[in-house]
């Protein structure tokens, strides 16, 4: 995965090292952090565009995020696309969870899936919730999943 800052500047090191560097720097400044990971996607013709974000929120001091964008040329149904979004978020969370645990930083994985059965994305709610929770992560869905529904959504 090719991670960047929100301004488009590529990260210079592997995402695990970058996350650890950020945590150390923020803690040195006296900030308490929590991390939120989410993915959103959009279909454009025959391609699906994914945006995954790692959002760092400082307690009462704002935040910032890292972004990864990918394009997959393939037709897929809504359920598959929702599960792939969750998979990308879980994969990202799993890759950095040891660093977060080391520095006692909380983590939530957000899914861009509606809890209201009247919405199409609800078809994947049970699978997504089971997948995220089975991996040991805290799960949030719409309307509480701001990392995917607000942050990643603006970047896809």
Whether the pTM exceeds 0.85: the reply is yes
| Helix (H), strand (E) at residue 66 | strand 62-73
- Given this structure, which CATH class describes domain 3-154? alpha beta
For residue range 14-29, list pLDDT tens digits in order.
999 999 999 999 999 9
Q: CB-based burial of residue 122 (10 Å sphere; 0-12 exposed, 13-18 middle, 19+ buried)?
A: middle
pLDDT tens string 35-61: 999 999 999 999 999 999 999 999 999
Q: Taking Cα atoms as reference points, which of 12, 110, 23, 14 lies closest to residue 64?
A: 23
Domain boundaries, the chain: 3-154
Q: CA–CA separation, 99 vs 18, rounded Å?
A: 10
């Amino acid at each position: 995965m090719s991670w960047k800052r929100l301004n488009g500047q590529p990260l210079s090191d592997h995402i695990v090292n970058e996350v650890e560097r950020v945590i150390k720097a923020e803690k040195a400044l006296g900030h308490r952090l929590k991390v939120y990971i989410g993915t959103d996607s959009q279909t454009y013709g025959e391609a699906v565009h994914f945006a995954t974000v790692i959002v760092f929120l400082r307690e009462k001091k704002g935040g910032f995020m890292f972004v990864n964008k990918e394009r997959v040329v393939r037709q897929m149904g809504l359920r598959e696309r929702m599960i792939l979004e969750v998979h990308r978020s879980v994969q990202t969370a799993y890759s950095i969870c040891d660093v977060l645990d080391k520095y006692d930083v909380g983590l939530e994985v957000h899914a861009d899936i509606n809890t209201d059965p009247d919405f199409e994305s609800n078809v994947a709610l049970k699978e997504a919730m089971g997948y995220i929770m089975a991996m040991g992560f805290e799960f949030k869905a719409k309307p509480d999943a701001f990392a995917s529904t607000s942050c990643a959504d603006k970047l896809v």
